[in-house]
Amino acid sequence: MALFTPTTSHSKLSSLQQHYPFWTKTITIISRPRRTYVPITFSLVSNTQVATFEEGQLDRPKWAGETPLSRFVGKIISFKPFYSILKFGARQVLISTAEKSNIPWRDMTKEILESDVYKEMESIQNPSLVYPDYYLNPFHAYDEGNLSWLAAAEAEAATMSMVKRAIPNASSVDEANQVVRGNWLQAIDQHYQMHSANSMIKDILDIGCSVGVSTRFLASKFPSAKVTGLDLSPYFLAVAQFKEKETASRKNPISWIHANGEDTGLPSNSFDLVSLAYVIHECPTRAIVGLVKEGFRLLRPGGILALTDNSELSPVLFTLMKSTEPFLDEYYLTDIEETMRQAGFVNIKTTLTDPRHRTVMGIVPY
């Protein structure tokens, strides 16, 4: 199984952070997935010290799959009173992290819910879209899953909280994003430049774009590219479109599409980069396979598919997340690299782009 369990890097990073305050320092991590060294730079501001260490081996977490711990967690979740407690706990972890990090969760939510965002729904929603069965499950402690205004209104604050939890010693969300988003974008750009003969990335598709946070980062990194955000939730897309209208005009405005990422209906060979950011941990294995195959179809020769998502989680955090992420077990038991290889991708590389997230990339051969 090609899975991250970066316990070595986590502990050493924690030790480094204790000794060196988060303020102008570059920490270079040497990661070794599948016997290859992958340098990763975490920009933690401080003097000019550079610390290097080796990331743990890729192995299946002990708590995933048909293990005693996993079965125990499953039994807890299946018991409704415990499930409600876990669901509440998972939600509170995000909200408390946000509030401690000066992320105005409640104010941000209220601002969206009391805005004119609802007017965007008519122009964004595809009424003929049939939702896949797995998407109708409760997600993220919302009974309606991603198909609700509350989920859409809270999504950006939740994303900010996630980033801050990944880089807890960052002085701000912006500084945490320099690591989490900056390393992710840098990894994509470097892998593309190394393995694609194409001169530049001209067309980008962000599948599972949610409220457009990752989409806007992609548009900023590749300003000359035409960027499209695609999602199954018209609520999320309405918020994405509403927020984009509030920002300064771009040279190439972002387009938003309400569609299924496994069957987008978009033309083949029409993109240079297809991104799935924090999407596949919410999908069963069959959906992950479908998304990867669709990405291969959509990309031009030399194009890159980039999937960024959770690496290893502690058993406690996994238990909390599993109560709001029904397919988390399947995600951790899916060999993403092999799935990409079987779809036809080459030059597949997995890299730890921040202490909690890995990015897996593959190139469509010529």
Region of 205 please: left (phi>0), alpha (psi -120 to 50) or beta. beta
> Of 313, 240, 250, 257, which is closest to residue 281 (Cα–Cα)?
313
- What was the pLDDT predicted at 35? 31
- What was the pLDDT predicted at 316? 59
Region of 140 please: left (phi>0), alpha (psi -120 to 50) or beta. left
Q: Supply angle C-alpha 10, 92, 100, rounded to 5.
A: 70
- Encode pLDDT of 94-118 as tens digits: 787 788 889 999 999 999 999 999 9
> Of 264, 263, 242, which is closest to residue 254 (Cα–Cα)?
242
From first CA to last CA, the distance across the chain in angstroms is: 28
- What was the pLDDT predicted at 20? 27
Which residues, 6+ apart, have CB-to-CB distance to 296 below 8 Å? Answer: 305, 343, 344, 345, 364
Query: Phi and psi (nearest 5°) for 42?
Result: -100, 115
> Of 254, 267, 274, 263, which is closest to residue 232 (Cα–Cα)?
263
Burial class (CB in 10 A: 0-12, 13-18, 19+), 194: exposed
Residue 333's identity, in one-letter code, is L
Domains of the chain, CATH where assigned:
68-364 (3.40.50.150)
- What was the pLDDT predicted at 19? 29
- What was the pLDDT predicted at 81? 66
- What was the pLDDT predicted at 244? 94
> Of 175, 156, 73, 139, which is closest to residue 282 (Cα–Cα)?
139
- What was the pLDDT predicted at 358? 94
Write down the pTM of the prediction: 0.81
> In whole angstroms, how large is the CA radius of gyration of the chain?
20
Q: Which residues of the chain have pLDDT under 50?
A: 1-60
